[in-house]
Structure 1
Amino acid sequence: MAMNVSEFIIQRIKEWGVSRVFGFPGDGIGEMDGMLGKAEREGKGVEYIRPTHEEICSLMATAHAKFTGEVGVCIATSGPGAFHMLNGLYDAQMDNQPVVAIIGQQGLASLGTFVQQENNLERVFADMACYVQTIVSPDQAQAVIDTAFRTARLRLQPAVVILPHDVQAMKWSEPEPENWVSRSSAVAPSTAITPPLSEIVKMAEIINAGSKVSFIVGHGARGATDEVLEAADLAGAGIITALRGKQVVPSDIPWHTQQLGLLGSKPSLDQMKDCDTLVLLGSNYPYGQFLPATGQARAVQVDLKPEQLGIRYPTELNLWGDVKAVLQALIPLLARAEDRSWQEKIAADMVDWEREMHDQAMIGYDDGVNPRRVFHELNQRLPENAIVTCDAGTTADWYGHHIRLRRGMMGDLSGRLATMLAAMPYATAAKFAFPDRTVVCTIGDGAFQMLGMNELITVKKYLAKWSNKQLIIAIMHNDDLAQVSWEMRTEDGNPLWRGSQDVETMDYAGYAELLGFKGIKVTKDDQAAAAWDEAFAHPGVTVIDAYVSRNVPPLPPHITAEYAINTAKALLKGDPMGLNVIKDSATAMAVEGIGRVKNALHRRDDEK
Structure 2
Amino acid sequence: MEDMAETVSDYFWKRVGDWGVTRIFGYPGDGINALVGALDKQEEKFSFVKSRHEEMSAFMACGHAKFTGETGVCLATSGPGAIHLLNGLYDARLDHTPVVAIVGQQARAAMGGHYQQEVDLITLFKDVSKYVHQVNSPAQVRHVIDRAFRIAKSERTVCTIIVPKDVQEMDAVPVPPHAHGTVHSGVGYSFPRVVPEDRDLKAAADVLNEGKKVGILIGQGARFAKEEVIEIAEKLGAGVAKALLGRTAIPDDLPFVTGSIGLLGTRPSYDLMKDCDTLLMIGSSFPYSEWLPEEGQARGVQIDADASMLSIRYPMECNLHGDAKATLQALLPLIHQKTDRKWRETIEDSISRWRKVLEERAMNSAEPVNPQRVFWELSPRLPDNCIVTADSGSAANWYARDLVFRDGMMGSLSGGLATMGPGVPYAIAAKYAYQERAVIACVGDGAMQMNGINGLITIANCWKTWKDPRLVVMVLNNEDLNQVTWEMRAQDGDPKFDTTQKIPDLPYDKFGELLGLKGIFVDDPERIGPAWDEALSADRPVVLNVKTDPNVPPLPPHIRPKNAKAFMSTLLAGDPDQAKMLRQTVKDLVVDIFPGKR
TM-score range, shorter chain: over 0.9
Q: Measure, in 2, the Cα distance between the counterparts of 1:493 and 1:93.
A: 33
More moved, 68-77 vs 335-344: 335-344
Aligned to 1:524: 524
Letter in 2 for 1:334: I
Q: Measure, in 2, the Cα distance between the counterparts of 1:533 and 1:46.
A: 35
- Does 2:32 correspond to 1:11? no
Aligned to 1:152: 152
Spell out, residue by residue over 1:534-580, the C-alpha distance to the aligned partner (whole angstroms, 9 max, x if none): 11221311111110001000001111111121112112212111111
Task: Report SS of the residue matched to 1:143.
Answer: helix
Task: Report SS of the residue matched to 2:594.
Answer: helix
Letter in 1 for 2:227: D
The question of whether the paired residues in 1 share the 8 Å contact of 2:214 and 2:237 is answered with yes
Aligned to 1:31: 34
The question of whether the paired residues in 2 share the 8 Å contact of 1:150 and 1:189 is answered with no
Q: Measure, in 2, the Cα distance between the counterparts of 1:597 and 1:277.
A: 35
Aligned to 1:64: 64
- 5+ residue gaps, structure 1: 599-608
Aligned to 2:223: 222
What does residue range 370-449 of structure 1 map to in structure 2 within 5 Å?
Answer: 370-449=370-449
Q: Measure, in 1, the Cα distance between the counterparts of 2:200 and 2:313.
A: 20
The question of whether the paired residues in 1 share the 8 Å contact of 2:26 and 2:75 is answered with yes
Task: Report SS of the residue matched to 2:259.
Answer: coil
The question of whether the paired residues in 1 share the 8 Å contact of 2:390 and 2:443 is answered with yes
Q: Measure, in 1, the Cα distance between the counterparts of 2:568 and 2:525.
A: 28
- Tell me by how many angstroms 1:524 deviates: 1.4
Q: Measure, in 2, the Cα distance between the counterparts of 1:13 and 1:596.
A: 58
- Tell me by how many angstroms 1:479 deviates: 0.4
- Tell me by how many angstroms 1:77 deviates: 0.5
What does residue range 501-512 of structure 1 map to in structure 2 within 5 Å?
Answer: 501-512=501-512
What does residue range 57-206 of structure 1 map to in structure 2 within 5 Å?
Answer: 57-173=57-173, 174-206=175-207
Spell out, residue by residue over 1:512-546, the C-alpha distance to the aligned partner (whole angstroms, 9 max, x if none): 11111111111111111111111122131111111
Letter in 2 for 1:266: R
- Tell me by how many angstroms 1:3 deviates: 2.0
- Does 2:583 correspond to 1:588? no
- Tell me by how many angstroms 1:596 deviates: 7.8
Spell out, residue by residue over 1:55-102, the C-alpha distance to the aligned partner (whole angstroms, 9 max, x if none): 000000000000000000000001100010000000001000000000
What does residue range 470-481 of structure 1 map to in structure 2 within 5 Å?
Answer: 470-481=470-481
What does residue range 238-253 of structure 1 map to in structure 2 within 5 Å?
Answer: 238-253=239-254
More moved, 171-180 vs 30-39: 171-180
Q: State, as a whole percentage, how many aligned pairs show the same letter.
A: 44
> CA 1:368/1:263 → structure 2, altered by over 3 Å: closer, same or farther?
same
Spell out, residue by residue over 1:96-138, the C-alpha distance to the aligned partner (whole angstroms, 9 max, x if none): 0000000110111222221111111111111111111111111
Q: Measure, in 2, the Cα distance between the counterparts of 1:464 and 1:262.
A: 40
Aligned to 2:544: 544
- 5+ residue gaps, structure 2: none
The question of whether the paired residues in 2 share the 8 Å contact of 1:154 and 1:191 is answered with no
The question of whether the paired residues in 1 share the 8 Å contact of 2:223 and 2:250 is answered with no
Aligned to 1:486: 486
- Tell me by how many angstroms 1:191 deviates: 4.0
Letter in 1 for 2:425: P
The question of whether the paired residues in 2 share the 8 Å contact of 1:379 and 1:404 is answered with yes
What does residue range 571-582 of structure 1 map to in structure 2 within 5 Å?
Answer: 571-582=571-582
Q: Measure, in 1, the Cα distance between the counterparts of 2:353 and 2:539.
A: 37
Task: Report SS of the residue matched to 2:286.
Answer: coil
The question of whether the paired residues in 1 share the 8 Å contact of 2:390 and 2:413 is answered with yes
Q: Measure, in 2, the Cα distance between the counterparts of 1:161 and 1:237.
A: 46
The question of whether the paired residues in 2 share the 8 Å contact of 1:213 and 1:276 is answered with yes
- Does 2:497 correspond to 1:497? yes
Letter in 2 for 1:478: N
What does residue range 278-289 of structure 1 map to in structure 2 within 5 Å?
Answer: 278-289=279-290
Aligned to 1:350: 351
TM-score (norm 1): 0.96
> CA 1:206/1:596 → structure 2, altered by over 3 Å: closer, same or farther?
farther
Letter in 1 for 2:583: K
Letter in 2 for 1:254: P
Q: Measure, in 1, the Cα distance between the counterparts of 2:586 and 2:112.
A: 61
- Tell me by how many angstroms 1:357 deviates: 0.3
Q: Measure, in 1, the Cα distance between the counterparts of 2:193 and 2:357.
A: 41
The question of whether the paired residues in 2 share the 8 Å contact of 1:19 and 1:46 is answered with yes
More moved, 76-85 vs 192-201: 192-201
Q: Measure, in 1, the Cα distance between the counterparts of 2:501 and 2:453.
A: 19
Q: Measure, in 1, the Cα distance between the counterparts of 2:56 and 2:251.
A: 30
Spell out, residue by residue over 1:266-297, the C-alpha distance to the aligned partner (whole angstroms, 9 max, x if none): 11111111111111111000111010011111
Task: Report SS of the residue matched to 1:440.
Answer: strand
Task: Report SS of the residue matched to 2:42.
Answer: helix
The question of whether the paired residues in 2 share the 8 Å contact of 1:112 and 1:120 is answered with no
Aligned to 2:323: 322
Q: Measure, in 2, the Cα distance between the counterparts of 1:393 and 1:310.
A: 29
Aligned to 1:601: none
Q: Measure, in 2, the Cα distance between the counterparts of 1:465 and 1:513.
A: 19
Spell out, residue by residue over 1:336-388, the C-alpha distance to the aligned partner (whole angstroms, 9 max, x if none): 112122112111110110011000000002x2200001000000201100111
Task: Report SS of the residue matched to 1:172.
Answer: coil
TM-score (norm 2): 0.98
Task: Report SS of the residue matched to 1:179.
Answer: coil
The question of whether the paired residues in 2 share the 8 Å contact of 1:138 and 1:172 is answered with yes
- Tell me by how many angstroms 1:597 deviates: 7.8
The question of whether the paired residues in 1 share the 8 Å contact of 2:470 and 2:537 is answered with no
The question of whether the paired residues in 2 share the 8 Å contact of 1:153 and 1:189 is answered with no
Letter in 2 for 1:402: D
The question of whether the paired residues in 2 share the 8 Å contact of 1:216 and 1:278 is answered with yes
The question of whether the paired residues in 1 share the 8 Å contact of 2:442 and 2:475 is answered with yes
Q: Measure, in 1, the Cα distance between the counterparts of 2:279 and 2:596.
A: 27
- Tell me by how many angstroms 1:177 deviates: 2.2
Spell out, residue by residue over 1:477-505, the C-alpha distance to the aligned partner (whole angstroms, 9 max, x if none): 00000000011111111111111011101
Q: Measure, in 1, the Cα distance between the counterparts of 2:98 and 2:305.
A: 13
Letter in 1 for 2:302: Q
The question of whether the paired residues in 2 share the 8 Å contact of 1:61 and 1:429 is answered with yes
The question of whether the paired residues in 1 share the 8 Å contact of 2:280 and 2:301 is answered with yes
Spell out, residue by residue over 1:238-287, the C-alpha distance to the aligned partner (whole angstroms, 9 max, x if none): 11111110111111111100111111111111111111111111100011
What does residue range 44-55 of structure 1 map to in structure 2 within 5 Å?
Answer: 45-55=45-55
The question of whether the paired residues in 1 share the 8 Å contact of 2:60 and 2:426 is answered with yes
- Does 2:300 correspond to 1:307? no
Aligned length: 594
Q: Measure, in 2, the Cα distance between the counterparts of 1:212 and 1:433.
A: 41
Q: Measure, in 1, the Cα distance between the counterparts of 2:463 and 2:517.
A: 11
Task: Report SS of the residue matched to 2:262.
Answer: coil
Aligned to 1:603: none
Aligned to 1:360: 361
Q: Measure, in 2, the Cα distance between the counterparts of 1:66 and 1:160.
A: 18
Task: Report SS of the residue matched to 2:115.
Answer: coil
Task: Report SS of the residue matched to 1:171.
Answer: coil
Aligned to 1:605: none
The question of whether the paired residues in 2 share the 8 Å contact of 1:391 and 1:413 is answered with yes
Q: Measure, in 2, the Cα distance between the counterparts of 1:215 and 1:543.
A: 38
Q: Measure, in 2, the Cα distance between the counterparts of 1:560 and 1:191.
A: 44
> CA 1:14/1:271 → structure 2, altered by over 3 Å: closer, same or farther?
same
Q: Measure, in 2, the Cα distance between the counterparts of 1:31 and 1:535.
A: 42
